[in-house]
Amino acid sequence: MNENDLNVVASFTKRVEDLHSGKKRNHRIRRIRHRAQKRSRKNRSIVEPTVEPTIESTVEKIIEQQPVEKNVELPIEKETSEVEIVVAPIPKIAINNNVNFEKATTISKAKSINTEKRMNETPKLRNSLPLVDICRDRRRRISSIKKNSTENISRNDIAYALKPHYSVQKTAKQSFMPTWAKFSLSWPSFDEIVELVNAKKGNTIPVYQEMSADMLTPVSAYLKISNGKNYSFMLESIEGGEQISRYSFIGADPYKIIRSGKNEELKGDPLVHIQKEMDNIKYVSIQGLPQFTGGAIGYIAYDCVQYFEPRTACELKDNIGVPDMIMLLCNTLIVFDHLKHVVKVVSHVKTDDKDLSKEELKKIYDDVVVEISKVIAILKNPEVPLPDQKPIILNQKPESNTGKEGYERFVTELKRHIIEGDIIQAVPSQRISKKTTLHPFNAYRHLRSINPSPYMFYIDLKEFQIVGASPEMLVKVDDNNYVHNHPIAGTRPRGKTPEEDEALAVDLLSDVKECAEHVMLVDLGRNDINRICQPNTVVVSSLMHIEKYSHVMHIVSNVIGKLRDDKTSYDAFRSIFPAGTLSGAPKIKAMELIYELENERRGVYGGAVGHFDYSGALDTCIAIRTMVFKDETVYLQAGAGIVYDSVPEKEYQETLNKLMANVTALENAEKFYYDQQQGNKI
């Protein structure tokens, strides 16, 4: 498009250099456009179309007009510097990053060199020239067509008429995409993907599009994307600093599901099956994305310790009946960036290390872009499908698998082993089960508001659902191969007033028994990490600080070390699993005694929930403050650390304190939906 498209006289072009000045830029753009339109209206009566153009003919006429490099003679005015028109091509940018268009820019000779250099350096920057230029180009074309048409054409009709010129791909899948999705931009561009593939950087490259998060929440996004899907997940982090709570991850419809266990096709060490899938992936990190953009998401049961420590293997009752492991392999994720208030929909170009032609790679890239656009279209839909809630039955009594007397007997028996020198500490647990018709996601919605935690998760595994708000990291291996552990031990209930709360925190840090127990578990964590980390790299970065949650407060520490070159993140997981805060010390002997007393598989409780990344990193939490919904029954479980001077009654009460947040969430959710259903009947 040149200045003649808007019937602008040549003298106007001297004002365009104002576009490149930093002050009052928007005001100058508006003033320039206003003057252009005034001059265009002044000459409109001179140019009258002899034939009424249709939308298509008008569009074609506009598209055929190409920028022409020419010299313009300016009227002689006082103190006017010489000005020339420079035609600077803009990189090929569009929906599939293949649309060609040019931008004619008028600049002064003094600024032409710097401006051309800036334009050549800018295309690879996110959210800079590409988005601005394509939107501006579309607006100019639409305005020109609307102005020159004698018919009353809507801007939306013109936008649809322009679609073929902005979207090279015209497949059946794309025909169902809304107009705004057609014009979305994906990063990296196809040309950048070609460069990465030719450079043999890897075989799995993330591609993403951004959208604003001002009209979306993680809950609404999950409900939209999981509607009608058998498998889905949502991982949130609501409480903590920027490093903990910046991102939320949502996914559904995995391309593969890995299940292992006694009654499954795959058996044995579950990490072997995960690693087998991940070893084929050579991930390429892309700027602007978090470390985790895809991989395996799910849980590993506590009882998988028998594969890492064969001495703990024994026959146990299985009253819940869940597999040892279920992992969902997801290639497309929704990432909420709470710091920048944007949503990034990420999918991946996978080449499988094949020598692909440019046309084959283009087809893979286009399919990925279409998949991303489909997800964005779902998220843009204003309708939010709510869970199908069955009629609520109140006052269902919970049942404990031990009871108060049984749990206190566990404490007494373990204290005897401590006195005899078999162990230093052990963590027995009790499980509570309750019949309920409450939809698991409705329980999660109440739990996330009552007990916000660093690790919030909802995982729908078709036969059962896992709902949790865990405060404690199990193990994390970042992209720099640093191993993180987050021991939590020492508990007090929250106070009713700020003064009482502070007094309880002081009392907790002054409790010799709680502090000794915590220090012992920190030493256990250091020992676990030291087995797979480089010498002299394991440090306690934070020792014994208080973290407060909705119903309890804990003493917390952080342990970190650098992973050895001959070890992997899977080795780090094996070394630390299960957490000492859920087993005891020495770990193996404590686990043997716990199995003798409980005589049941723990299942999800005390295991790990999290994700294993395409990049080789992982982030998992301990499955505590967790509920399992299966066959209209919810299972909750909690334990307490037993040491030499433990009091059985107090340890039993500690398990109830830890269960309180989940029990309260269940009761509140049931009452809320019961009242809602009764109100609807009225």
Is the domain of 332 the same as that of 244?
yes
Contact assessment for residue 295 and residue 614, using Cβ atoms and an 8 Å cutoff: yes
pLDDT digits (tens, 9 = 90+) for 239-292: 654 344 789 999 999 999 999 999 899 999 999 999 999 999 999 999 889 999
d(CA 206, CA 350): 9
pLDDT band at 168 (very low <50, low <70, confident <90, very high): very low
Phi-psi region of 240 (alpha: psi -120 to 50; beta: other; left: phi over 0): left
pLDDT, position 339: 85
Instruction: Report helix, strand or coil for 562.
Output: strand
In this model, does residue 667 exceed pLDDT 50? yes
pLDDT digits (tens, 9 = 90+) for 298-339: 999 999 999 999 999 999 999 999 999 999 999 999 999 988
Long-range contacts, stretch 650-656, CB < 8 angstroms, 24+ apart = 651/407, 651/408, 651/411, 652/404, 652/407, 652/408, 652/411, 652/430, 654/491, 655/407, 655/429, 655/430
pLDDT, position 35: 54
pLDDT, position 346: 97
Domain boundary among 146, 180, 214: 180
Domain boundary among 119, 146, 180: 180
pLDDT, position 72: 41
In this model, does residue 158 exceed pLDDT 90? no
More confident residue, 100 or 263: 263
Residue 10 domain-assigned (yes or no): yes
Beta strand segments in 450-567, E = 455-461, 464-470, 473-477, 482-485, 488-493, 539-548, 552-562
Residue 185 domain-assigned (yes or no): no
pLDDT digits (tens, 9 = 90+) for 219-236: 999 999 999 899 999 999
Least confident residue range of 111-120, 322-331, 491-500, 608-617:
111-120
In this model, does residue 106 exceed pLDDT 50? no
d(CA 145, CA 53): 10
d(CA 415, CA 645): 8
pLDDT, position 621: 96
Residue 665 domain-assigned (yes or no): yes
Annotated catalytic residues are 554, 581, 605, 625, 641
Is the domain of 471 the same as that of 620?
yes
pLDDT band at 550 (very low <50, low <70, confident <90, very high): confident
What sign for the dihedral angle of Cα 295, 299, 302, 306? negative
Q: What is the mean pLDDT of residues 8-33?
A: 45
pLDDT digits (tens, 9 = 90+) for 572-598: 999 999 999 899 999 999 999 999 999
Contact assessment for residue 660 and residue 667, using Cβ atoms and an 8 Å cutoff: no
pLDDT band at 465 (very low <50, low <70, confident <90, very high): very high
High-pLDDT (> 90) share of the chain, %: 59
Say which CATH number the domain at 215 has.
3.60.120.10
Residue 198 domain-assigned (yes or no): no
d(CA 281, CA 594): 39
pLDDT digits (tens, 9 = 90+) for 605-618: 999 999 999 999 99
Q: What is the mean pLDDT of residues 188-206?
A: 91
Q: What is the mean pLDDT of residues 524-536?
A: 93
pLDDT band at 491 (very low <50, low <70, confident <90, very high): confident
pLDDT, position 464: 97
d(CA 153, CA 172): 27
pLDDT, position 119: 42
Q: Which residue type does 115 have?
A: T
d(CA 128, CA 132): 7
pLDDT, position 295: 95
The Cα-based distances of 483 to 228, 242, 433, 570 in angstroms read: 38, 19, 35, 11
Q: What is the mean pLDDT of residues 396-408?
A: 94
pLDDT, position 108: 40
Is the domain of 524 the same as that of 556?
yes
pLDDT, position 489: 86
What average pLDDT does the chain have? 80
Is the domain of 281 the same as that of 164?
no
Backbone torsions φ then ψ of 574, nearest 5 degrees: -60, -40
pLDDT, position 132: 43
Instruction: Pick the closest to residue 551 from 450, 448, 635, 474 (CA basis).
Output: 450
Q: What is the mean pLDDT of residues 600-627?
A: 96
Q: Which residue type does 200 have?
A: K
Q: What is the mean pLDDT of residues 450-470?
A: 94
Residue 586 domain-assigned (yes or no): yes
Q: Burial letters for 455-465: b for 16+ Cβ neighbours within 10 Å, e otherwise?
A: bbbbbbbeebb
The Cα-based distances of 280 to 194, 275, 362, 564 in angstroms read: 20, 9, 22, 22
Domain boundary among 110, 145, 180: 180
pLDDT, position 451: 86
d(CA 522, CA 296): 29
pLDDT, position 56: 59
pTM of the model: 0.73
What kind and span of H or E run contains 593?
helix 587-598
pLDDT band at 80 (very low <50, low <70, confident <90, very high): very low
Is the domain of 460 the same as that of 358?
yes
Is the domain of 176 the same as that of 211?
no
In this model, does residue 21 exceed pLDDT 80? no
d(CA 442, CA 461): 16
pLDDT, position 601: 96
Is the domain of 237 the same as that of 380?
yes
Is the domain of 299 the same as that of 438?
yes
In this model, does residue 342 exceed pLDDT 80? yes
pLDDT, position 184: 53
437 by Cβ neighbours in 10 Å (0-12 / 13-18 / 19+) ranks as: middle
What kind and span of H or E run contains 190?
helix 190-198
Residue 190 domain-assigned (yes or no): no
Is the domain of 26 the same as that of 117?
yes
Residue 191 domain-assigned (yes or no): no
Q: What's the half-sphere exposure (Cβ side, CA atoms, 13 Å) at 19?
A: 17
Residue 189 domain-assigned (yes or no): no
In this model, does residue 211 exceed pLDDT 70? yes
Is the domain of 213 the same as that of 176?
no
pLDDT, position 148: 62
From first CA to last CA, the distance across the chain in angstroms is 64
d(CA 590, CA 414): 9
Q: What is the gyration radius of the CA atoms in the chain, in angstroms? A: 31
Instruction: Pick the closest to residue 490 from 507, 469, 473, 470 (CA basis).
Output: 507
More confident residue, 100 or 542: 542
Contact assessment for residue 139 and residue 155, using Cβ atoms and an 8 Å cutoff: no
What sign for the dihedral angle of Cα 247, 251, 256, 258? positive
Q: What is the mean pLDDT of residues 619-644?
A: 96
Least confident residue range of 198-207, 223-232, 238-247, 369-378:
238-247
Least confident residue range of 60-69, 204-213, 386-395, 562-571:
60-69
Q: Which residue type does 592 have?
A: E
3-class DSSP string for 420-445:
CCCCCEECCEEEEEEECCCCHHHHHH
Is the domain of 343 the same as that of 413?
yes
Q: What is the mean pLDDT of residues 338-364?
A: 91
Instruction: Pick the closest to residue 258 from 229, 221, 300 (CA basis).
Output: 300
Can you give the residue range of the structural domain that contains 38? Answer: 3-70+80-180
pLDDT, position 652: 96
Is the domain of 175 the same as that of 241?
no
